[in-house]
């Protein structure tokens, strides 16, 4: 069986990798869980199941009305410098890798806790009240992963728009690249189908950016509210609203 970009995507997005990535759910907010669902259902599955039909043998289905040697390849490279599927595959890899950093950071915390327990015994105090609590370095790792995911999606949306001229797929295109004689008519296979899938993937990327932005605002807003509550407690220790908030979210860190 020939190895295509779809075979490669299937190998990367196998069940073990998806299960590892789904472990991020333990540490994500509600927005993060929705983001992960959108990535799995509307991006990975659509790319593997539907896009393969539209981009299966793209170069073989690209036809030009000339027999000039090399013209067909030059025209194809001009209109499709990078295949959509390969761009989307790279986008999925880059956009999911930051989430794995959160899992690795938690694994680092667990290893530190294990070594601490081995050194001082089971009855010693814990280094972390909750391994998965987004505090300290883990909070910054999580925040940076969100920013990186938004940046990756935004960059790839721009690349698709820039390379493919606003996602336009006409049935007939004119090619006048060397060594083609004069203007050559070339025909794109399944142009409407390609346009629909491209718009769909761009829209889902925008939805993912919006979800990640909401999660970033929520995360930063929650931290700001925590700082505000700490300041209020320093002035008024019996503030009911702030005490309830700190108890629910940071019971192991503050004394009540």
Token pair listed for 98? 């930051």
Q: What is the 3-class SS of the chain, one letter each residue? A: CCCCHHHHHHHHCCHHHHHHHHHHHHCCCHHHHHHHHHHHHHHHHHHHHHHHHHCCCHHHHCEECCCCCCHHHHHHHHHCCCCHHHHHHHHHHHHHHHHHHHHHHHHHHHHHHHHHHHHHCCCCCCCCCCCCCCCCHHHHHHHHHHHHHHHHHHHHHHHHHHHCCCCCCCCEEEECCCCCCCCEEEECCCHHHHHHHHHHHHHHHHHHHHHHHHHHHHHHHHHHHHHHHHHHHHHCCCCHHHHHHHHHHHCCCCCC
What's the CATH code of the domain at 69?
A: 1.20.1440.80
Look at residue 210 and tell me if it is in a domain: yes
Look at residue 251 and tell me if it is in a domain: no
Task: Examine the pLDDT at 122 and tell me if it is beyond 60.
Answer: yes
Q: Among candidates 74, 85, 99, which has minimal Cα distance to 24? A: 99
pTM above 0.85, yes or no: no
Which tens digit of pLDDT belongs to each residue from 61-105? 788 888 888 888 888 888 888 878 888 888 888 988 887 888 787
Determine the average pLDDT of the residues in 43-52.
75
Look at residue 170 and tell me if it is in a domain: yes
Look at residue 178 and tell me if it is in a domain: yes
pLDDT at res. 138: 80
Q: Which residues contact 210 (CB under 8 A, 6 or more apart)?
A: none
Q: Containing domain of residue 149, as a range?
A: 5-221
Task: Examine the pLDDT at 212 and tell me if it is beyond 90.
Answer: yes
Higher pLDDT, 183 or 217: 217
Determine the average pLDDT of the residues in 47-57.
69
Cα 83 to Cα 174: distance, rounded to the nearest angstrom: 19
Task: Examine the pLDDT at 15 and tell me if it is beyond 80.
Answer: no
Determine the average pLDDT of the residues in 134-162.
87
Look at residue 28 and tell me if it is in a domain: yes
How many domains in the chain? 1
Kindly state the percentage of the chain with pLDDT values over 90.
Answer: 12
Look at residue 256 and tell me if it is in a domain: no
Cβ atoms of 38 and 203 closer than 8 Å: no
The half-sphere exposure of 164 on its side-chain side, counting CA atoms within 13 A, is 24
Cβ atoms of 40 and 18 closer than 8 Å: yes
- Count of all residues that appear for the chain in the document: 256
Task: Examine the pLDDT at 11 and tell me if it is beyond 80.
Answer: no
Look at residue 226 and tell me if it is in a domain: no
CB-CB neighbours of 227 under 10 Å: 10
Q: What is the dihedral of CA 96, 38, 160, 216, to 10 degrees?
A: -60
């Amino acid at each position: 069986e020939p190895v295509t970009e779809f075979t490669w995507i299937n190998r990367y997005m196998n069940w073990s990798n998806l299960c590892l990535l789904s472990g991020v759910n333990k540490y994500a907010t509600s927005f993060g869980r929705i983001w992960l669902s959108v990535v799995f259902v509307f991006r990975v599955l659509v790319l593997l199941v539907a896009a393969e039909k539209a981009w299966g043998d793209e170069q073989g289905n690209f036809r030009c009305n000339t027999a000039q040697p090399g013209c067909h390849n030059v025209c194809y490279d001009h209109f499709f410098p990078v295949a959509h599927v390969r761009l989307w595959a790279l986008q999925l890899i880059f956009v999911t890798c930051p989430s794995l950093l959160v899992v690795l950071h938690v694994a680092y915390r667990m290893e530190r806790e294990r070594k601490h327990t081995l050194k001082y015994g089971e009855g010693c105090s814990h280094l972390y009240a909750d391994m998965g609590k987004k505090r300290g370095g883990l909070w910054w790792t999580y925040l940076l992963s969100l920013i990186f995911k938004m940046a990756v999606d935004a960059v790839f949306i721009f690349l698709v728009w820039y390379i493919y001229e606003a996602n336009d797929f006409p049935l007939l295109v004119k090619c006048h690249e060397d060594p083609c004689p004069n203007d050559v008519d070339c025909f794109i296979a399944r142009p409407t189908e390609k346009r629909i899938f491209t718009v769909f993937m761009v829209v889902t990327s925008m939805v993912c950016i919006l979800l990640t932005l909401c999660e970033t605002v929520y995360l930063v807003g929650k931290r700001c509210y925590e700082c505000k509550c700490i300041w209020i407690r320093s002035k008024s220790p019996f503030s009911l609203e702030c005490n309830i908030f700190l108890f629910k979210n940071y019971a192991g860190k503050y004394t009540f």
